[in-house]
Amino acid sequence: MSLTRLQKVMAQAGIASRRKCEELILAGRVTVNGKITTTLGTKVDPDKDEIRVDGKVIRKEPHIYLVLYKPPGYVTTVHDPQNRPTVMTLVRDYNQRIYPVGRLDYDTEGLLLMTNDGDFAYRLTHPKHHVPKTYLATVSGIPNKKALTSLRQGVKLEDGLTSPAKVQLVKKGTDSVLLKITLYEGRNRQVRRMCGAVGHPVLHLKRTSIGNLSLEGLKPGQYRTLTTEEVVELKNLVGLK
Ligand code: URA
């Protein structure tokens, strides 16, 4: 018998991210062997206990891991209250069983991971794991040395100082530059906020890699499944076997 925390079992079954599963538990939408359970620490035996969400029995599903080249003009949520196109429409073969890992802004294009492995998604987006994410950002104006040093060493944002980042000036235009930025944390709209804070608003933004994954071979709107090696490597990065 292996006892596991309820929210982890739910996340592994592809219900949602672990955090979202906690919300479902707290909302009283989850039953274990017919009894509503609102305690987050509840331990269950996934092989024996019957867990239901909104009355529906959860079942272990094979894990799916995709890398999608998100085009601009799509939201990275499963449902959009404003009815804008969602990335879910680009991966229709997989239906609603997978969801995006973290976010890319509506206007941002590039690499987006999608999975039904909630535990994996939770760890990849957890700040403690520092999984590198690389962006190509076209910014307005020509940043001087001081601005570039700030971006590298830490920019004061409303949610605190950013941690050290790699920043490389790739191409200089007349009134804009292309920067390659690698972040080891993932805050909301972080690249746009960092560049804005040093006086160089982002004009165009593309994420080119997460950990060992790149966009190679993909056109906007296309996706592929991860290879076993890629999954193993990413799992290693976040302490999963
Ligand atoms: N940083 C941003 O500002 N936007 C994104 O979409 C991703 C990272």
Query: Average pLDDT for residues 60-88, to the nearest whole number?
Result: 92
| Cα gap 116→112, rounded to integer Å | 14
The one-letter code for the residue type at 127 is: P
**pLDDT value at residue 96:** 61
Structure confidence at residue 164 as a pLDDT band (50, 70, 90): very high
Q: Tell me, using a 6 A CB cutoff, whether residue 108 lines ligand 1.
A: yes
pTM attached to this predicted model: 0.81
Q: How far is the CA of 201 from the centre of ligand 1 (A)?
A: 12
Look at residue 17 and tell me whether its pLDDT is greater than 90.
no
Look at residue 192 and tell me whether its pLDDT is greater than 80.
yes
| Cα gap 135→144, rounded to integer Å | 19
pLDDT tens digit string along 124-160? Answer: 988 788 899 999 999 999 999 999 999 999 999 999 9
Residue-wise DSSP of the chain:
---EEHHHHHHHTTSS-HHHHHHHHHTT-EEETTEE---TT-EE-TTTS-EEETTEEP------EEEEEEPSS-BSSS--TT---BGGGGGGGGTTS-EESS---TT-EEEEEEES-HHHHHHHH-GGG---EEEEEEEES---HHHHHHHHH--EETTEEPPP-EEEEEEE-SSEEEEEEEESS--TTHHHHHHHHTT--EEEEEEEEETTEE-TT--TT-EEEPPHHHHHHHHHHTT--
70-106 burial, b at 16+ Cβ within 10 Å, e below that, comes to bbeebbbeeeeeeeeebbbebbeebeeebbbbbbbbe
Query: Average pLDDT for residues 185-204, to the nearest whole number?
Result: 96
Please report where in the chains the tokens 């274990």 appear, as a residue.
Answer: 32
Which neighbouring-strand residues pair with 160?
A: 157
Atom of ligand 1 nearest to the CA of 104: 6
Q: Tell me, using a 6 A CB cutoff, whether residue 49 lines ligand 1.
A: no
Torsion angle, alpha carbons of 118, 36, 96, 229, to 10:
20
Active-site residue, selected from the candidate residues 105, 107, 117, 175: 105
105 is catalytic: yes
**Domains observed in the chain:** 4-57 (3.10.290.10), 65-127+212-237 (3.30.70.580), 132-210 (3.30.70.1560)
**pLDDT value at residue 47:** 77
Q: Residues of the chain with pLDDT > 90: what percent? A: 75
- At residue 76, φ and ψ (nearest 5 deg) are -100, 40
Compute the chain's Rg from CA coordinates.
20
